Amino acid sequence: MRITRISAYQVDLPLHEGRYAWSGGKSVAVFDSTIVRVETDDGFAGHGEVCPLGPFYLPAYARGVRAGLTELAPHLIGLDPRQLAVLNEEMDRALKGHAYVKSGIDIACWDILGQVSGQPAYVLLGGRYGEDFVLYRAISQGTPEEMAQSVANYRAEGYRRFQLKVGADAETDIERIRAVAEVLESGDRLVADANTGWLPHEAARVVRGVEDVDVYIEQPCLSYESCLSIRRRTTHPFVLDETIDSIETLLTAHRDDAMDVVNIKISKFGGLTKARQARDLCVSLGIAMTIEDSWGGDVTTAAISHLAHSTPPEFLFTATDFNSYVTVSTAEGAPQRNHGRMAASTAAGLGIAPRWDTLGEPALVIE
């Protein structure tokens, strides 16, 4: 089996809430997503998706996905999409870095491998744990009252885990965390995610200011060293996200006891192959995980669902259902949230089929 064509489709994904805001005044109203299609000489086609959280979150941007594919895809024509280690080695040989560019191709090839095997991707990723898995809801930054109301609303829809977008001035962030904590009940989980937005002195004030609140602190500062400094000053459970983007950084953070939970975003690691490697390592090391991506729609949500559903539940802190945040559906068969939980499709591969009326004409085709 050989790859004969790689194409990419650009899709705009507006948000039900109108906009999504996080630390440093960053916000996005319409996400620019790229759906990657890999086709083979014997008629199989797999799909992946890459959707950066705007150009100012991780070192990734939407047009960079498509520019990178133009550079990378010609090297992959003729390769066997089922041989994922060989494929990933060739991607790393042909293009140094730019993990997010490779992610959509890798996901699409897992989709093909599943279809060829007649198995859902979660079987190939290790197996299915239970009927479904737990989701969190990201709460866009707003006033403390707005965020508490948003949590109450999503709690009424069944979510029990909430990730607050903080990372502004310390006083307001302390108010945000306290206002939201008041609407939660026993068993709920609260994460305050600063998305690198605090300087250490501000982070130190926030963690002290909410010392009596049951809250996880996520990625308070920009650098790993600053996060580690805050980690050592607080008793709150601690999550790292933006600074953990490889096996090397994961191992360093484990050695330093720098986190209790790590956020595995598929495109940050470069696809399901490498995210799965990180996931399995976390299970071996005893580190809980959030499994998600930077953003996305139906295809990203399907990929997340297979990696999350094949993760032992005691290690899966949360996962994300991005397709419920956006107004546009790009694929049939994508998993849907149900009372704050989700299940991966039992169909072969990712279990999705693109909606061609939404995708339109490809932005690029390499063959």
Catalytic residue annotation: 165, 265
State how far the Cα of 270 lies from the Cα of 110, in Å rounded to an integer.
13
Q: State both tokens at 252.
A: 């360093």
Rounded to a whole number of angstroms, the minimum distance from the CB of residue 218 to Mg ion is 5
Query: SS3 letters for 239-268?
Result: EECCCCCCHHHHHHHHHCCCCCEEEEEHHH
The DSSP bridge partners found for residue 290 are: 263, 318
Lookup result for tokens 């601690």:
238
* Residues in contact with Mg ion by the rule CB under 5 A: 193, 241
Residues 6 or more apart in contact with residue 253 via CB below 8 angstroms: 224, 240, 243, 244, 259, 262
Rounded to a whole number of angstroms, the minimum distance from the CB of residue 193 to Mg ion is 4
285: three-class secondary structure by DSSP: helix
> Which CB atom, from 112 or from 192, has the smaller least distance to Mg ion?
192
Lookup result for tokens 């259902």:
321
Q: State both tokens at 355.
A: 């909606």
State how far the Cα of 352 lies from the Cα of 335, in Å rounded to an integer.
9
